[in-house]
Amino acid sequence: MTSPAVQAAGAAANPHHSADMRRVSLRVNGKPYSAEVESRTTLVDFLRHSLLLTGTHVGCEHGVCGACTILIDGRSARSCLTLAVQVEGCDITTIEGLANADGSLSILQQAFSEKHGLQCGFCTPGMLTTLSEFLRDHPAPSEQQVREAISGNLCRCTGYQGIVEAALLAASRIAAGGR
């Protein structure tokens, strides 16, 4: 059994008892932000609660479902497994940053709409950020490559078929010169 003295020492060291605040400065969807955050704040909570960018979803909160996927300096990452203080100075892209500058849907978003790549939409922000990176790096993917690319993103609704067809349609349109 833990002695009262050890319990008291543990309580004194408990980070929940005194918040360790840090300043984090970063760019999100091209816009600069600077804010004080608790050092234990996850990036997804920072995006949703501090910056009010609620398009990034929170599912499992331990790296399994992919709903929270965002891009950090162009690379996909789980924002539930990343601390806000870890992205100091980084460029973050969220679902809110994927549309074209005039607000119209990107080619990938349009393809999701046409091919029924979403139903409830919970997985969709993570699917779109994941596939944005994938199509940038694999401009002429096979169906199998698309399926592997989204294998870390869970969808409880679509059976994935519409998502795969949307990614392949977007790839063909991008190859044809679309943006």
Summarize as ranges the residues that interact with ligand FES (CB under 6 A): 58-61, 63-68, 78, 80, 118-123, 155-158
**CB closer to ligand FES, 15 vs 121:** 121
Nearer to ligand FES, 61 or 114 (CB): 61
Query: What's the closest the beta carbon of residue 152 comes to ligand FES, in angstroms?
Result: 8
Most distant CA pair in the chain, distance: 70
Closer CB to ligand FES, residue 47 or residue 171?
Answer: 47
Nearest distance from C-beta of residue 102 to ligand FES, angstroms: 26
Q: Which residues are bridge partners to 32 per DSSP?
A: 27
Residue 10 CB, nearest approach to ligand FES (Å): 29
